[in-house]
Structure 1
C-alpha cells in the first residue's frame, strides 16, 4: 500500500475531547522502567555498548529495514531508547497508520471499560447493542459475547469487511470457529454506548492523554470500512511501553494487569496463538487471516517464545518481549507483498534483531 491518503483529512486526526482529569507524570528516578515525560522531545537513551549487544550488527539491521520499505523503527529497553531510526522520507513528526496493530487499542479500552463497571466481556453483545445487530437468528446472535469479538471466534461470516447487520451472517455457533474479521469493531460500539461518549473521546480521556499520546501526534480516521488509528512512532512506542509495564504508566494503573495477562494469553482453543486481538508467539500452532487451516509450529520461530505482538496490515508491528525487556516498533510500507498480519518479514526481522542483541 503506497502512502495512502497521508494528508487526507489530516485535521480529523486532531479532533476529540481531552480529559479534564489531572494527569500526574511519573518520576523517572523512582521507577525501574523508564517512562518519558509528556509534551517533551526528551526520551532517555541507553547505548548498545551499555547493553553488551553486537554493535557491528546494527548497520546490517538498519540496511535490512530500509531496503524493506521501513519508515520508522524503535527498540526500547526497559523504556529507554536504544534505537530510533527514520528512513525512506519519514521523520519523527510524521504520522503513519497502525492498521490492525490498532486492534489492541480496542482491547485495552475494553479492559478499562470493564474495570469501570461499564461492561462485562462475558456478557452477550446484544446486552449492550440490542438485538438484530447481526443477521443471525436471535438464538444464535445471543450466543455471541464481547469476549468472542475480542477472540475472533464470533462464528460470523468473515468474507466481508463491512459490519452492518446484513454483512454479519451466521456461519457457525460462537466459540466454534476462529476467523480474522472486522466484527471486533462492534466492541468500539459497545464501549461508546456504555460510556455515553464516542469511542474516540473515551480513548482520548482514558488512554491517549494518560500516557502522553497527545492530540498533536495521532488520531482516528475513517477509511472505507476501517476506523484506523494514525500516530507518530513515539506514540506507538508509548503504548507498547505501557503494555510492557503490565498496564501501568509510572505509578498509575491504566488497564488492569489481570485483564492484560488474560488478553495476552490464548483466548480460545482453536487458534492457540491468539489472545484478545494480540498475536502470541511460542505456541504449538496458529491460524492466519483468511484461512481455516491450522499451521504447526510457532508464529515467529526466530522471536523469543514469550513475545506477543500487535500486527497490522503491510507490516505495522509492536513486539513486546518481557524476557528481554524489549518493546520493538516498526512502521512502513509492506516489506514485500500486501499482508494482513503475519508475514515472512517478521521472522526475517527477528533474525536480524537476534544478531544484534545476542
Structure 2
C-alpha cells in the first residue's frame, strides 16, 4: 500500500476544504471498498480524509412524504429502519440482499453509491483494464465474462455496477446531495452515473472535490419489491436483480417503476419497459412484452448471453408477484 497522509474532519466545511486543497485525496467512510482498493494499489490517494465524525447519520422524514438519508447512515441501520421497511420495502430488501451482515454494519449509504466494480480484471494488476489504466484495453471482452454487462456497454468496458442498494434507489428516483467549497448541489440518481463509452474510468458525475452528504428519496405509494438472482443465497453479487414498484387499478397498470442490476454498467432504469406497461393490462403477456422491449438492445457475449433471458424472466416474475399479491 502506498503511504498516505491522514486527516480526521470534524465537520463538512473542513472535509470539503481539505479535499479541495488536495488533488489526490479520498474520503473515508466505512472503508469497505476503498481500503480493499488501496491494499491492491488500485486506489493510491496521497491523503485520506476521515469523515466518520460528520453529522450525516440521520434518517429524516420529509414534509412531502419522502425521506432524507444521511450519507453516513450504515446499510444495516437503513435496512432496519421502520419507515424504510414500511414505505420502501424494495430498498430494505435490496440492502439485506447485499454483502454480509458484518459488511452492512460498516458500509455507508454514501460509500455504497461510490463503490467500484467487482470485475476480476479490474482487480488484477496483470490484466488490461480501461477503468484502472485508461487506454490499456479490456481483457474482459475476450476473456471470461459470465458476470459482465449486457446493457450500456462499450468497446472499452463491459463491467457491471455491483450495488444492490443503488438499483432500488434508481427505481425510486432518488436525488443525491453533494457539497463542495462551491456550495450544495442536487443530482438525480439517473444523472449521477456515467455509461463507460470511451472513458470507463469516469464513473459518476461527482467532481473530485465533492462530498456526498445525503440521499433524498421521494414518496412511494405503490407496492414494491426487490428480487435478486445469484449463484448462491449468501454474499454474492447479482447475476440479475430487479427493483420494482407496481400500482394496478381495475386490472390496468397506473404506476410502475423498474430498475435492473447485474446486467448493466450502472443501475439500469428500465424506461422502455415502464413506457410499455403504463396503461396496459396487468397481465403476464404485458409483463413479458415490456421485458422483451427493455432487453432488445442488449449485447450478449459467449459467457453471459443467458443474462438476457434471465433478466426478462426476473422482470416478469417480480411484476407478477406484485400484481398477484397487491403487496410486498
Q: TM-score range by the shorter chain?
A: under 0.3
- Say which structure is richer in strand: 2
Give the TM-score taking structure 2 as reference length: 0.25
